[in-house]
């Protein structure tokens, strides 16, 4: 956390201000890394209380942001993401309380072993340092992301969508006040105080060594920019092109329930299925009921020739469809020639996020779980379980599809790293 920080003229420039902000966060991270659990938990309680107490201020700021966004012609969906009301503020405060109840990962001994020379080596969890969070218009991320970072002993630098800057400032004010009341540095949660876009670029460059990891929260273009430009590690997924493969021995009732849930429970989440693959061996009995169930549930189906033969409502899938994340009530569907073809399809078109096989054949399940190279692979369960809460992590800051450090749901534990503690009694190396 204390890599050398270059001296920069910090009086008035955006760069200077960001540099100072990074330096302060780094200093705060050092305090937070050593803060006891009860102090962090006290801060989380105080943060929830402050958010509730300042509810009116937060809603007032939000109303101003909404008015400005309306003037600039923002879409209804955008306005809905931006808007807070009493219920949403309460949910935000409740979310802080949920994070407080999570186990503190810091200090956990992950492994311990003894060497022949008598030394004991421990691998122990420590915080990552400073987490940079770049997000779009949902103001609740301000509280959620800050809370998860704090619980894992990290400082956070938050850069929210500029359309929600008043709301974010009001929420951040509540969080910073709560930190102060708990004896923790208010600078442990920093909000980038400028709408200048250059600030994002500086964060992606690591803010002179101050930022240890970037977490982007938002749409594909934001994530793509972050992945393209970041010079520090990124916890993210660009897209979730998730598959359900219905194998030859799948039970139809189970397959139907899983496919419908995987696509239609919430079509817009990253763990929603985008492609249905049906084994040719199961197609005669399973394809029509599955496709019909999806259509009847209001889902658009884009299929290969076999799927189109089921129902006139099925549209023609193009090559592009197989790699498209619809995030909507649309699914592509095709018949594949058994397990190998299913795995090959997923490896070719998928995004290594979450993929599921429905089968009664244990050998096929084992092979699918082993050979599909995705962060999450499931047997006889819906892809919509791709979620930190559903994994038992309590809360998550996102899902990562990178192969490093955090893969799959990123909860508090994934916001830590480790160090080795060696206990000796005078050992020297021969």
How many Å apart are CA 106 and CA 349, to the nearest integer? Answer: 38
* Sites for a second copy among residues 73-112 (CB under 8 A): 107
Q: Does 126 bind a second copy (CB under 8 A)?
A: yes
Residue ranges in 54-85 assigned as alpha helix (H) = 55-71, 76-82
In the bound complex, what is the minimum distance in angstroms from residue 380's beta carbon to a second copy? 4
Which of 105, 129, 267, 303 is close enough to bind a second copy by CB under 8 A? Answer: 129
Q: Give dist(CA 156, CA 241) in Å, integer.
A: 30
d(CA 430, CA 428): 6
Rounded CA gap, 410 and 395, in Å? 8
When asked if residue 137 is in the footprint of a second copy (CB under 8 A), the reply is no
In the 8-state DSSP scheme, what is residue 318?
Answer: P
Residue 20 near a second copy by CB under 8 A: no
In whole angstroms, how close is the CB of 115 to a second copy at the nearest point?
6
Q: Which of 177, 254, 281, 295 binds a second copy (CB under 8 A)?
A: 254
Residues binding a second copy: what is the number (CB under 8 A)?
Answer: 66
> Which CB atom, from 77 or from 422, has the smaller least distance to a second copy?
422
Report the residue number, 160 or 271, with the smaller CB distance to a second copy.
271
Q: Is 325 in the site for a second copy (CB under 8 A)?
A: no
Q: Of the two residues 49 and 371, which places its CB atom closer to a second copy in the complex?
A: 371
Q: Residue 36 or residue 219: which is nearer to a second copy going by CB? A: 36
Q: Which is nearer to a second copy, 3 or 309 (CB)?
A: 3
Q: Which of 121, 224, 329, 341 binds a second copy (CB under 8 A)?
A: 121
Site for a second copy in 264-303 (CB under 8 A): 265
213 or 287: whose CB is closer to a second copy? Answer: 213
Residue 344 CB, shortest distance to a second copy, in Å, is: 10
Compute the distance between CA of residue 327 and CA of residue 314 in angstroms, rounded to an integer.
18
Apex 62 CA angle, 235 and 237, nearest 5? 15
Using the Cα atoms of residue 205, residue 210, residue 212 and residue 213 in order, give the sign of their dihedral.
negative
Of the candidate residues 55, 233, 388, 398, the single one contacting a second copy (CB under 8 A): 233
**Interface with a second copy (CB under 8 A), residue from 382, 396, 398, 411:** 382
Tell me: does residue 340 bind a second copy (CB under 8 A): no
Classify strands 408-410 and 398-400 as parallel, antiparallel or unpaired.
antiparallel
Asked if residues 25 and 188 have their Cβ atoms less than 8 Å apart, the reply is yes
Which of 13-21, 42-50, 249-257, 300-308 is the region at the interface with a second copy (rule: CB under 8 A)?
249-257
Rounded Cα–Cα distance for residues 299 and 43 (Å): 45
Per CB under 8 A, which region of 185-193, 214-222, 275-283, 418-426 contacts a second copy?
418-426
Tell me how far apart the alpha carbons of residues 412 and 429 are, in angstroms, rounded to a whole number: 37
- Distance between CA atoms of 406 and 410, rounded to whole angstroms? 6
Show the site string, 190-229: x = touches a second copy by CB under 8 A, - = not: ----------------------xx----------------
Region of 122-130, 141-149, 161-169, 171-179 interacting with a second copy (CB under 8 A): 122-130
Region from 86-94, 196-204, 252-260, 302-310 binding a second copy, contact rule CB under 8 A:
252-260
Q: How many CA atoms lie within 13 A of 208 on its CB side?
A: 21
| Cα distance from N-terminal residue to C-terminal residue, the chain | 33
Instruction: Give the DSSP H/E element, type plus range, for residue 167.
Output: helix 165-181
**Cα(128)–Cα(86) distance, integer angstroms:** 34
Q: Where are the beta strands (DSSP E) in 105-207?
A: 109-114, 120-127, 130-135, 155-159, 189-191
Q: How far apart are CA 390 and CA 396, in angstroms?
A: 10
- CB-side neighbour CA atoms (13 Å) of 424: 7
Report in angstroms how near the CB of residue 2 gets to a second copy at its nearest: 5
Binding site for a second copy (CB under 8 A): 1-3, 30, 33-34, 107, 113, 115, 119, 121, 126, 128-129, 212-213, 233, 251, 254, 257-258, 260-262, 265, 347-348, 352, 365, 369-371, 373-382, 384-385, 387, 390-392, 403-405, 407-408, 417-429
């Amino acid at each position: 956390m204390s890599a050398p920080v270059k001296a920069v003229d910090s009086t008035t420039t955006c760069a200077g201000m960001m540099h100072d902000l990074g330096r302060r966060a780094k200093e705060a991270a050092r305090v937070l890394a050593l803060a006891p659990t009860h102090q962090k938990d006290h801060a989380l309680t105080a943060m929830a209380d402050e958010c509730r107490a300042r509810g009116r201020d937060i809603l007032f700021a939000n109303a101003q942001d909404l008015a400005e966004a309306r003037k600039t012609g923002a879409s209804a969906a955008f306005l809905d993401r931006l808007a807070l009301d009493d219920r949403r503020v309460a949910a935000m405060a409740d979310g802080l309380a949920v994070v407080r109840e999570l186990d503190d990962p810091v200090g956990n001994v992950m492994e311990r072993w003894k060497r022949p020379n008598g030394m004991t080596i421990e691998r122990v969890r420590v915080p990552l340092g400073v987490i940079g969070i770049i997000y779009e218009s949902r103001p609740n991320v301000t509280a959620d992301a800050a809370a998860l970072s704090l619980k894992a002993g990290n400082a956070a630098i938050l850069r929210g969508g500029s359309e929600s800057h008043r709301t974010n400032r009001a929420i951040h004010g509540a969080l910073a006040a709560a930190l102060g009341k708990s004896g923790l540095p208010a600078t442990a949660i920093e909000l980038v105080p400028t709408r200048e876009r250059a600030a994002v670029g500086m964060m992606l460059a690591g803010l002179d060594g101050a930022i240890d990891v970037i977490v982007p929260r938002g749409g594909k273009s934001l994530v793509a920019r972050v992945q393209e430009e970041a010079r520090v590690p990124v916890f993210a997924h660009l897209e979730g092109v998730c598959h359900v493969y219905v194998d030859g021995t799948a039970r139809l009732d189970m397959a139907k329930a899983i496919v419908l849930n995987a696509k239609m429970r919430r079509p817009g989440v990253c763990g929603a299925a985008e492609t249905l693959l049906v084994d040719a061996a199961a197609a005669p009995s399973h394809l029509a009921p599955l496709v019909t169930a999806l259509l009847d549930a209001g889902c658009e189906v884009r299929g290969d020739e076999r799927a189109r033969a089921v129902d006139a409502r099925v549209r023609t899938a193009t090559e592009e469809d197989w790699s498209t994340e619809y995030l909507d009530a649309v699914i592509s569907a095709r018949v594949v020639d058994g397990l190998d073809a299913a795995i090959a399809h997923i490896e070719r078109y998928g995004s290594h996020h979450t993929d599921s096989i429905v089968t009664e054949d244990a050998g096929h399940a084992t092979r699918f779980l082993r050979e599909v190279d995705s962060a999450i692979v499931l047997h006889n369960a819906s892809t919509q379980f791709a979620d930190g809460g559903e994994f038992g992590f309590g809360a998550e800051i996102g899902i990562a599809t990178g192969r490093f450090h955090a893969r799959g749901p990123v909860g508090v534990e994934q916001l830590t790293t480790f160090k080795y503690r060696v206990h000796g009694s005078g050992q020297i190396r021969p």
